[in-house]
Amino acid sequence: MGKRGGRGKIATHIRLQESMEGAVAQAQKAPTATTDPNEAAALNDVFAKLGQKAAASWNTTGDPCSGTATDGTDINDSSINPAIKCDCSDQNNTVCHITRLSFDINTLSGPVPKELGNLTNLISLGFGSNNFNGSLPSELGSLFNLEQLYIDSAGLSGALPSSFSKLTRMKILWASDNNFTGQIPDYIGGWNLTDLDFSYNQLSGNFPSWASDKKLQLYLVANNFVIDRSNSVLPLELECLQRNTTFSLASPFAVKCGSSRSMTDSNNNFYQTDDATLGPASYNVRKTSSPIWAVSNVGKFMDTLASDGNYMIFYSSQSQNTLASELFQSARMSPSSLRYYGIGLENGNYNVTLQFAELGFTESQSWRGTGRRVFDIYVQGERKEQNFDIRKAVGGKSNTAIKKDYTIHVTKNIVEIHLFWAGKGTCCIPSQGYYGPSISALSVTPSTLLNYYVFFV
């Protein structure tokens, strides 16, 4: 009985070994999926025009669709740039198509390569936060599978090409912070849109009827639209954030960023609340305040830290280096671009004070203490600080306040404070999606006594 059992085990082992050898042989015979040669050539042409090279992490075999291009790595992984993702299911898993391409935050310049139009299987394309010039090439209208286009802060100008009318599968277009002109094209109504962001451009005219679709997230801050009840389907509060708008008397203001509690500091500055929920491309206008002020956010975290989606940070303990610790118990942050506006100020000289404290990074010697928040500060369109690191500015300390003071001259009755993430610092400490600009408080006060009559142009 025991001998039969032993022979049975041996036979089973032989069958298992034969089965494994057969599987290996079958795997060796199985063809390897490779990138469609036309798409590989098109990608090489694009990179040649951009002066870019394929990342070693996804070009592991000399074929673009290998490595991270075909595994579960997120295309937004900041350590991989440029990045592609491929679908290798075509022709019995032997042919790969490039479906996603991103080369944003690279300080690239020159025209956008028209060769992108040859990557006709793209579902998602992103090249925002660059320094391109000129208009979008009409060849991009050949990307009939495209569903997502991210071109915010790309340096683009002109009108959208008429060829874009063929992009009927488009769901998301982020095109803020460029210099697009003309009207919003009527053909966009034929797209399958859920998100459209044209903020901070030079668009003008009225709005097509589809702009009132309640399912559409539409963002049009800081353009040249004329908005009133007779010709607009959009909220009237957007009028405050358009150019060439007349305002009445206003006064200095201060904001306690990310907080639901107002306060007055020792200098008698009254800090207003700023607790509105802002999403990936949104704004809030405080028309009931004096003066009118507004805040806007552009960008989406790779993995949102805040469970409530407010893009805010809260801290209950006392902060150092300040007599107004309460100011630093909250902060508003953004994954890309955070702007504050004072609207309708009398022209003249002002003092702008921005207050920061790093609330999320610890001072421990572990990896949790190695986080770096790095961003640029612009006031009135002029870069005041490049690669500003809150903790570094206070000797590597967390929960320690720092103020940055600037004197500005207001000539168009508006002050703009812009905090911009240029892709530097850490992204994932203490958790995924923790990066970008952050600010706890700001104030704008006149340097001299002003005469109060206001025209915002």
445 beta partners: 351
What is the arithmetic mean of pLDDT over 126-154? Answer: 95
Contact 67, 57 (CB under 8 A): yes
What pLDDT sits at residue 159? Answer: 95
Pairing of strands 202-205, 179-182: parallel
Residue bearing the bigger pLDDT, 246 or 64: 64
Contact 444, 360 (CB under 8 A): no
Contact 177, 196 (CB under 8 A): no
Residue 29 has pLDDT above 80, yes or no: no
What is the arithmetic mean of pLDDT over 387-393? Answer: 92
- pLDDT category at 21 given cuts 50, 70, 90 is very low
What is the pTM assigned to this prediction? 0.65
What is the arithmetic mean of pLDDT over 267-289? Answer: 82
Name the fold adopted by 34-241: 3.80.10
Q: State the amino acid at position 441 in one-letter form.
A: A
Q: Which of 60-64, 65-69, 365-369, 448-452 has the lowest mean pLDDT?
A: 448-452
- pLDDT category at 237 given cuts 50, 70, 90 is low
Alpha helices in 158-310 (DSSP H): none
Residue 207 has pLDDT above 80, yes or no: no
Q: Which of 21-25, 135-139, 198-202, 274-278 has the lowest mean pLDDT?
A: 21-25
What pLDDT sits at residue 181? Answer: 95
Where in the sequence of the chain do the CATH 3.80.10.10 domains occur?
34-241
The two structure tokens encoding residue 295: 């805040």
Residue 355 has pLDDT above 70, yes or no: yes
Residue 276 has pLDDT above 50, yes or no: yes
What is the arithmetic mean of pLDDT over 325-338? Answer: 88
Highest mean pLDDT among 267-271, 336-340, 375-379, 413-417: 375-379
What pLDDT sits at residue 455? Answer: 38
Residue bearing the bigger pLDDT, 337 or 122: 122
Nearest Cα to 294, choosing from 317, 276, 279? 276
Residue 22 has pLDDT above 50, yes or no: no
What is the arithmetic mean of pLDDT over 359-372? Answer: 66
Residue 56 has pLDDT above 50, yes or no: yes
Residue 30 has pLDDT above 60, yes or no: no
What is the arithmetic mean of pLDDT over 440-446? Answer: 93
Pairing of strands 95-102, 124-126: parallel
263 beta partners: 271
Supply the mean pLDDT for the chain: 81
Residue 247 has pLDDT above 80, yes or no: no
Q: State the amino acid at position 237 in one-letter form.
A: E
CATH second-level architecture of 253-446?
Answer: Sandwich (2.60)
What pLDDT sits at residue 162? Answer: 96
List phi, psi (to 5°) of 165: -60, -20
Residues 6+ apart with CB under 8 A from 61: 67
What is the arithmetic mean of pLDDT over 124-133? Answer: 94
The two structure tokens encoding residue 102: 């991103």
Residue 426 has pLDDT above 80, yes or no: no
What is the arithmetic mean of pLDDT over 259-280? Answer: 88
pLDDT, tens digit (0-9, with 9 covering 90-100), for 294-320? 898 877 765 544 434 558 888 776 777
Alpha carbon distance, N-terminus to C-terminus of the chain: 99
Highest mean pLDDT among 27-31, 146-150, 199-203: 146-150
Residue bearing the bigger pLDDT, 322 or 126: 126
Residue whose pair of structure tokens reads 């006064």 in the numeric block: 251
